[in-house]
Structure 1
Amino acid sequence: MPSENFVLILEDDISTRLIVSKSLTVQGIKSVVAANIADAEALISKHDICLFLLDVHLPDGDSTSLVATLRETHPLVPILIMTGDYEQNRVSEFFDLGVRDFINKPVHPILLASRVSSFIRSYATEKALFEANEMYQRIAHEKEQEEALAHYVYNHILKVHTTKIAGLDVAIRSSGRFCGDMLLSAKAPNGSLIVMLADATGHGMAAALTIYPMVSTFAAMVSKGLSLGAILRELSSKHNQSIPQNRFVAAILLEISPKDNSLKVWNGGMPAALMFDKAGELTKVTSKNVAIGILPEDLISTKMESFELSDIKKIALFSDGLIENKVIDGRNIPFSEGYDIIAKNLDDSHGLLSLMHGYELFEGESSDHDDMTLAVLDLELIQEELREEEPEDLQIPGSFDFSFELRGSSLNNEKFAFSLSDLLSTYGFNKEFCQKVFTVVTELLVNAVDHGIFNIPSNLKEEDFITYLSMREQKKANVSPSDKVMIEVKWDEIEHTLFISLGDSGAGYKVENIETADDTAAYGRGLKLITSLCKTFFYDQEINTTHVSLKY
């Protein structure tokens, strides 16, 4: 029951009022009490009532008149009557007025609370169904209203999965109710900002639905701390699974990493990104890749162009609708001239969209404008906010350590890493730090179980993923009681560092050259991810144990 809802108890007997209100409070049900009809009417106007519990005879009249009024003003809210045996002859009268049930006096507190709870749950269900039916009736007969609902849901999902940050200015001019362009941004656990501008084939709802599967995938992959190349592969995989083969998504992905002083760019089928250094010189980052959906995910190139972040002041991303099919004084302007117009007007992004909209070229009887999206990133402001939003150096009082052993079938517990990060949050560690711990422990467990205990070759993911999954399921089903993973977690208050050690009873795993590991492959990128999140990393081959530390 929502906390703002109350049960109204109308009873003139003080003892009965106390018994009833106390029995409801014990069950977590809030109530308001009245001794007469006048007080009850005043309370009804001040509170959201989810159930009426009424006595029959009151100092200022009979509750019959109140019941009749409530059936008009609160048609769905259940009414229960508390009555003595001598009033049973009035049962039929109250039922005709709309009373749901009767409770005999003297009341039994536990039974009363149980029946009230049951009626409140029924009321919540009836109310939800009633509201859903009302919504259905509002949208069922008008296509415009149906589109309005879809538009709201789509925009709400985009809003939920987009991080607002100072320095990222976005202007959008859609050709219709639904936009085939999409701008997403999310912060990674390592402090980087990942930005994606995507432009789907076509216009309207079809284009918007083409982009839709990428929204949650993008947010989930960034939150897990995956590299930009790995995120791109996941986006491509999700698109190929969900969208017809003739629908493509051109996209630009950026990773802004203040800690590494780097800006990585991947351009697949989009207009050139305009990058300005601190002297105002312009560099165009042109497309060197095909749009998402043209190639299968295992063939898509994930090679990024990398720049030193400290050298760049501003970067502009835009969809092709801003630059294609533009006419000035009767002549088609080339892209180079369009780029110049955009570069000179970045300080007024919305005015620029209106200007370019006026230059739109229509062919024949067509008057369909393309979607236009412009994102201008002030990298100095973005870096400043990313630094400001870094986790505070909060003091965690005291030091502690604890250890776990996962043995036999408990190795299949996929929620362990989440539970561990959740446990740390109870000590006062912030959300970002717990997210890092979750990612690190998850990767360490995968290495220990899949490769150390199950002895599954890591490259099997790339060479034959189906065989890898089949082997893993078989190993999980036949895990031995002697198989185990040992985990030790130690917090050092003085060093402000969390130390994690994880070993397994298997043969261990091979530590590749982390610096040259391919972070776009389907395997081998876990250790590189761990080292990017941890202060130190050491694998002791002799005792088959990985030691990492995370600075807080």
Structure 2
Amino acid sequence: MTRKLSILAADDSEMNRRLLTRFITQLGHDIVLVNDGQAAVQYCQATRPDLILMDVMMPVMDGLEATRQIRSLLGEHWLPIIFLTAKADQEDVIQGLSAGGDDYLSKPIDITLLSAKINVMARIADMQLRIAQDAEQLEAYYRANEAEQELAKHVLSSLTVHAEQAATGVQEWIKPAVNFSGDVVAVERSPTGVAHIMLADSTGHGLSAAISCLPAVSAFHSMTQKGFAISAIAREINTQLHRSLPLGRFVAAILVAVDYAERIVSLWNGGLPAALLVDADGKLLRRFESQNAPLGILGNEDFDPGLAVYRWPETATLALFSDGLSEARNAQDKEFGEASMLQVLASVPAEQRMAAVRQAVAEHLDGREAHDDVSLVIIPCEQRQNSMPESAQADAAHTELADWEIRLSFGPRQLREDNCMPALLGWLHQINLNETQFGEVLLVMSELFNNALDHGVLKLSSLQKSAGEGFGQYMEERQRRLQALESGSIEIGMNYRVDAERALLRLWMKDSGEGFDFARQDMARLSDDGQQTHGRGLALVRRLCESVLFVGSGNQVEVEYALK
């Protein structure tokens, strides 16, 4: 027997109601009796039975009209209705089914047939109930999933959309293949004002791909703010992803540092299409091809943090894009490709290049959907001062501080892994410099440290930068010597003192190199294109500091900065 049902019987005949009560009770179900169709409608307004046995011919409201109103009342909820009537010709059956009935049973009623029809309707009702419950569960799951998707979008947006994009002029375009993009763009400025940009493309599509990029984005922002170089950031992201991502998951990425003051772009490419640097006319200056495996594949011992470095001319544009863009196929199965990208970049002025590429890709696809996430980053490269991000440091009353001194020494490992400047930056954050002082002292410290490393420890000559391709050769040699460094050190000291008139911050730096003839040093030299190739850093230090003094063989420099 099926489960016990609540059955509503509508019939104007007292004898029929008695027979139905006896039959239904014998079948083990509960029965509710009404005399007409209107009473059946009113009962369904208050209570929902499991099944209705409906007479056709009744006073006040017949069974056909009652069935129509009950169907309208219940909406999408299905309730089985069986008509009971002495009229059983084809026209009557069709009329009853059209009114909303599910079956017909002729009078006099056969209890065996009635039992079978009730069992059939009960099974159908149970299936309908399960379907409705499943639909409710799916709807609840859909609503919960939508809420989770919105939360994920908010988190991803807060990590990837950054105010530094406006300050640097970087433009981005991301077109996801599904709801979420596995491509992300992050922009941040270092404490010295160098712009850092990352385009990352995670394996797969959707939310899982976007989540895979989160450790990369988080490390990129935090390490840039702490003063780490692009090479150190790439290494740390690779370590985190190698540890956290499952086998077969990785993140192809390009990390870029743009030094506007020096007109230098430094780039690490792991698994993405070649980044393209073009001049004002769109002529290709440099292709930065992928020289590395995507992030997360190799262990730390096998990871290569080496950068490609290039000094651009007066003005240039750097284009980064994912393989979803370069491999976007049209109706003829032709890829968009690098050649099309270069053609578009050369066809319009620099400020129109983002819009022109987007339009070209749309025309290439001609309404078709790309099979992969599409992303494009346009980076304007022009010579200007590196504008530093706003400092969180508050103005401080230095005259209230006691005198203090700090000393620190960096050996080969710290120099190779490029972890020195973040440590020095940590010092500055501890002494409550105001925003102007923080920026100027950081510039002084950076210039002196880079001079000590390049010319003292690594024994590089600035004269290498002067001729033709000299700058590129200089940077390649610098990386080679730095990676092979097994000995050498830089010692740094800083002290603070207050006299009767002013507060002074004294910084000294000593390297393990042989020094130089600082008395005869030519402080400035021009390259073939008329640009000053070296000496500008020391000139800046002299302008910002009260005094600059070389001692010993020239491998130690002492400066004093006045805290006005």
Larger Rg: 2
TM-score (norm 2): 0.49
TM score, norm. by length of structure 1: 0.50
